[in-house]
Structures are given as C-alpha cells and as structure tokens.
Structure 1
C-alpha cells in the first residue's frame, strides 16, 4: 500500500524463470548450481507424469 495516497499498487514478486529462487544443488564436480523457477516447474511436470496421484475424476 502506498502510504502517501492510500492506494495499493500491484507488485511483481514472482521470480523470472531463470532467476535463482534461493536454493542450489551441488553437481558431481562440486559446483554450486542455483535452482531456478524453470527447474522447479520441470521437476513438477516430471513428477506429474510418473506419480500415482489422486484418482481421476469421471
């Protein structure tokens, strides 16, 4: 909320797909690789393909 005029302005707080989101993985060579939003979304898509989730609705 803007305290000067009492209005609230929308803020873009979502990370960009290639922007690090606060974590990292360590590869086989010991290098730290920042985790990106795109990496998380890809992992979720892969899990959706392989996991046995809730029964499908008819």
Structure 2
C-alpha cells in the first residue's frame, strides 16, 4: 500500500515561464532585470527567423 501511495504523489513539475533562470541584464537605468525562460525562447525564435531569412537571401 505504501508503494501505491508513493506513485500517486506526483511532484509539481509545472514551471512558470517567468521564473529567473540564473542571469540578469542591465537596463538603460542600471536596473538588474532577471532573464526568464520566456526571454530566452523569444531570443531563440528571433535568431531562428533571422537565420531562415538569411538563407532565403543567398
């Protein structure tokens, strides 16, 4: 029965995309802005689109 009870306890793995991932950027006013997962995903998407556009222009 103990084993069954342990199987029903699922850790909450749902992550908030706005949690800091360990770094900061400094804005124009000198404030530290935490880098979030959403920021990284947006940057990757932008880079991917730019790469695709550059490949089309060759």
Task: Using structure 1 for the length normalisation, give the TM-score.
Answer: 0.63
Coordinate RMSD, CA, aligned? 2.4
After superposing on structure 2, the runs of 4+ consecutive aligned residues of structure 1 that deviate more than 2 Å are: 9-12
Q: Which has the higher helix share?
A: 2
Q: List runs of 5+ in structure 2 lacking aligned partners.
A: 4-8
In the TM superposition, what whole-angstrom CA distance separates every residue of 1:1-58 from its partner, at most 9, and x where no partner exists? xxxx7xxx8763x752000000000001100000000000000000000025xx8xxx
TM-score by length of 2: 0.63
Greater CA radius of gyration, 1 or 2? 2
